[in-house]
Structure 1
Amino acid sequence: MNTKPMPDGPAPSLELQLTDGTTWSLDAQRPESFTMIVMYRGKHCPVCEKYLKTAQTLADRYEELGVSLVAVSMDDLERAKDSKEEWGIDRFPVAYGMREATALAWGLYLSDSIKEEEPRRFSEPGLFLVRPDGTLHYAAINSMPFGRPDLEDMADAIEFVLEKKYPARGRVAA
């Protein structure tokens, strides 16, 4: 049974608290082209730190493409705030407290802690592009911290998608 969201289908619901005390809801987003949801493992992950710092440096490019970004994890408020501050993330919101059921609805893999600094359970990474109408255009789901889409390449890909009106792919369910 396929529990992953399907391209061109509705994106799963997503409403989370942000580190600034406000609420972020996918339903309320109105980007020009896409909402990019970067789901990361959490504060314990040095690969996530590097990835979000890269997103930070590319924020202007994504803004020019009409893409709004949000970073999401299962971390608690304290860990999410620490990540945002220590990693210097100030160009996009950081959401925290994603529940296991939400992670699974997005098709994410879950892992149990193998080190003391890791939370008991956390999601593995995923990157999603959601259209302004709430449908999914692109999904990349990883079972480990490695092998995520290169964010510079992703910006180029989004530019291509927008210029050529390139449709979502992977829409055939088995």
Structure 2
Amino acid sequence: MLPPRTTIFPRQPVPSLILPLAGGGEFDLSGMQAESFHLLVFYRGRHCPVCKTQLGALQAQAGAFAERGVTVTAISCDTKDRAESAVADWNLPDLRIAYDLTPEQARQWGLFITATRGKTSLGLDEPALFSEPGLFLIRPDLTLFFSSVQSMPFVRPRAEDMLAAIDFIKKNDYPPRGDVI
């Protein structure tokens, strides 16, 4: 049995997270440096066609995020082979892809967990358990600024909308919202 989902509130510290990276190396959120924000995009995995589209859009805007001082990392419960296959097959050379997220870690981030339902429209088997999508915009001090957590694979924040929001936040010194506990 998995632990219950945790709710992370804006202005509160986010959970620690250390995972391997596709292509080698390690993602350690606590050791990451960002001028403006860290953007963590939790995706369902290599089996998901909506994830392919979302990560492709992030790839296309990788330079725009970097210009704004935003580090971008995509994270899934995929294995090393599936993560590296996504990087190659989806043409994601500029995205940092972390893998081996456990369902327990996903719950710490407030993500929903799904059990396999077999093959997807891409013809790939779903993993036994995997997280549903989530997006977290995190300040350099590792406190949450914004989150979007979903129980379904559809209707995700678009890269262009995130860039516009980041511009607005920076220009207007806009504060986090939803922080009343």
TM-score interval, smaller chain: over 0.9
% of aligned pairs identical?
42
1:165 aligned partner? 173
Q: Which residue identity does 2:167 align to in structure 1? A: E
Unaligned 5+ segments in structure 2 are 120-124
Corresponding residue for 1:45?
48
Q: Does 1:105 align with 2:108?
A: yes
> Equivalences for 1:2-151 in 2 at 5 Å?
3-116=6-119, 117-151=125-159
Point out where structure 1 has 5 or more consecutive residues left out of the alignment.
Answer: none
CA deviation vs aligned residue, 1:1-56 (integer Å, no higher than 9, x gap): 97211110001111100012211111011111001001000000000000000000
Letter in 2 for 1:32: E
SS in 2 for 1:37: strand
Is contact 2:5–2:107 with CA below 8 Å preserved after alignment? Answer: no
Task: Tell me the C-alpha RMSD between the 2 structures.
Answer: 1.1
Counterpart code for 1:27: S
Distance (Å, rounded) in 2 between the aligned partners of 1:65 and 1:98: 27
2:136 and 2:33 mapped to 1: Cα distance?
15
Structure 1 counterpart of 2:101, one-letter code: M
In structure 1, C-alpha distance between the alignment counterparts of 2:50 and 2:67, rounded to whole Å: 26
TM-score (norm 1): 0.97
Q: Quick one: structure 1 residues 2 and 48, their matched pair in 2 at CA, closer, same or farther if it must change by over 3 Å?
A: closer
- Cα offsets for 1:59-84 (capped at 9, x unmatched): 11111111010010000000000001
Structure 1 stretches of 4+ with a deviation exceeding 3 A read: none
SS in structure 2 of the partner of residue 75 of structure 1: coil
Q: Following the alignment from structure 1 to structure 2, what is the Cα–Cα distance between the partners of residues 66 and 21?
A: 23
Secondary structure of the residue aligned to 2:166 is helix
Structure-2 separation of matches of 1:3 and 1:18: 25
TM-score normalised over the length of structure 2: 0.93
- 1:111 to partner: Cα distance: 0.3
2:133, 2:5 → 1: CA distance? 18
How many residue pairs get matched? 173
